[in-house]
Amino acid sequence: MKAIPVSVRERIIHLYKNAKSTKEIASSLGYCVAAVRRVRQNFKSRGTLQPQTHLCGRKSLLTDAIQTRLRAFLDKKPDATLAELGAKFKRPPSTIDLWLNRMGLSSKKCYTPASSHGPTSPSKELTDQKMPPVPVTCSSKN
């Protein structure tokens, strides 16, 4: 349901000041009695007719303190994986990835040890040369 516009809220308060009843205001403006009553109650308790949209939605777990700790940890160990960061901060790797994105940082997805046999992809010089086909042997057990 949409919030009642501020101009309508002002009209509701104006009608209350002119000694109109809640039922009369609701019927004339096309709102239910409870909504009109709530506008008046919120105005009395908060002193404003502005909607409280800043209180909507889920609150982030990424506080300033956690951001500071996360940046300090990454300064010490910049090649930390999401799994390592998740273990350190007791959060799943997906949460750590979201936090790093919000902070404008990138992450190392997983640990891959360096190959002891050299590069895994051929160099440019090797790909330009015509390589002979590799024989394929098939063994069948009968």
Query: Residue 40 burial by CB count (10 A; 0-12/13-18/19+): exposed, middle or buried?
Result: middle
Residue range 52-85, pLDDT digits in tens: 776 677 888 888 999 999 999 988 988 888 889 9
Place of tokens 């506008």: 39
Residue 59 to residue 91: CA distance in whole angstroms: 16
For residue 9, give the nearest of 34, 41, 40 by alpha carbon. 40
33 pLDDT exceeds 60?
A: yes
**Where do we find the tokens 């404003």?**
48
Rounded to whole angstroms, the Cα distance separating 85 from 83 reads 5
Please report, for the chain, how many H helices and E strands are present, in that order: 7, 0
At 68 the pLDDT is: 93
